[in-house]
Amino acid sequence: MTAPFSFKLQAKHGEARLGEISTPRGTIRTPAFMPVGTAATVKAIFPDNVKATGADVILSNTYHLMLRPGAERIAQLGGLHRFMRWDRPILTDSGGYQVMSLSQLRTVTERGVTFRSHIDGASHELTPERSIEVQNLLGADIQMQFDECTPFPATYAEAERSMQLSLRWAERSLAAFRDYAQPGRALFGIVQGSIYPELRAQSSAALTSMDFNGYSIGGLAVGEGQKAMFETLSCTATFLPETKPRYLMGVGTPSDIVGAVERGVDMFDCVMPTRSGRHGQAFTWGGKLNMRNAAHIEDMRPLDEASDCPAARDYSRAYIHHLLRAGEYLAPMILSWANVHFYQDLMAAIRQSIRDGSFAELAARIRNAYPSTAAASDEDSPPSAAASPARVDDT
């Protein structure tokens, strides 16, 4: 189950970790940010442009792809990498979060979850075995165990019941992975337990005894707030082995990311760069910009003078503002491209700062440019981001 997937921890600065994940399809430099390609596309960006941003890996979604166009169909067409023209690693989530968040009619049992599709209302069942089968039909390099994402808020008893169910599903996911997976693919366990340290400890201990290739931290970025998220991360990371990668699911803002890196997290994904781009928001080294604001109407400066991304460097703020006001498709394309590039530049800067010992200074710079979510201006947030947590799909 291990070779040739491997993780090498290269350096630390405090708890911040610099490393590399090796897969048959290439190396993932960590800390890493994965652009979200929910339905086999990172929205509004050509695959070659995603690659040019520096992304080593992208995320795709089991739930959406099993419903449309279907995992068996993608397998018949040569697998997800060929289907979407992406030759680097792909990580897939298990589909469990989407079943819980998108399906209005669902029934959770020990066996799994039966639900009705949000597309056409058709009935489906997703079990640990089916989730792993789908992820292998897609050809995902890194796969997730099937789990129940515990909602927030949850009582201790509710969180414990959910966590224990996810542990039983983890055992079944691992058994199915051994049956279905080709050499070189990896399976991550998902730590649950809401914001309760004792439950996080129990979940971590049980999962590490199963010896997964890596460990995801789930059930965060679901409305608990940054302070509670960081407190939960601080305790959870201490329960996980240093020799395996740690993935915080569905996070987040630049300040979320530097705070999580400080607490020992290696991998991230979030729809924020592309979703914000579609709502006219830009991420720059100087902070967030709302490109719909009238202040940009005659501003001929580039989007971000500190960026070497063509989207951020070659188009004026006035032009992007005009495109947004005119409802032109090019505006979200430019902004999504620039935002994904910014996130990759941020991760590259984080990696270099861990290497040379300047991470604390970089983290302070990012916090100054990107205050915590609670302090952010509503004017600077796209409607969807202001109203909902980061742990969502790019749909």
- CB of 134 within 8 A of CB of 65? yes
Query: Of 93, 141, 256, 393, which is the active-site residue?
Result: 93
Helix (H, G, I), strand (E, B) or coil at 314: coil
Q: Give 249-295 as a DSSP string.
A: TTB--HHHHHHHHHTT--EEEESHHHHHHHTTEEEETTEEEETTSGG
- CB of 376 within 8 A of CB of 254? no
Tokens of 30: 């960590």
148/164 Cα distance (integer angstroms): 10
Tokens of 140: 């995902």
Tokens of 391: 């742990």
Which of 151, 94, 98 lies closest to 128 in space, CA to CA? 94
314/303 Cα distance (integer angstroms): 8
| Longest distance between any two alpha carbons in the chain, whole Å | 60
The 10 Å Cβ neighbour count of residue 110 is 9
Q: Which residue has the tokens 């090019």?
A: 330
- Residue 19's alpha-carbon distances to 32, 84, 342, 344, in angstroms, are 9, 28, 21, 16
Query: Of 269, 304, 393, 394, which is the active-site residue?
Result: 269
Which of 248, 283, 286 lies closest to 265 in space, CA to CA? 248
| DSSP at 374 | G
Q: Which residue has the tokens 């201790």?
A: 156
188/290 Cα distance (integer angstroms): 37
Given CA atoms 171, 177, 178, 180 in this order, what sign does their dihedral have? positive
Instruction: Establish whether 345 is a catalytic residue.
Output: no
Given CA atoms 267, 95, 71, 181 in this order, what sign does their dihedral have? positive
Instruction: Establish whether 378 is a catalytic residue.
Output: no
Strand order of the β-sheet with 6-13 is 6-13, 16-23, 26-30
- CB of 95 within 8 A of CB of 136? no
Name the residues annotated as catalytic. 93, 269
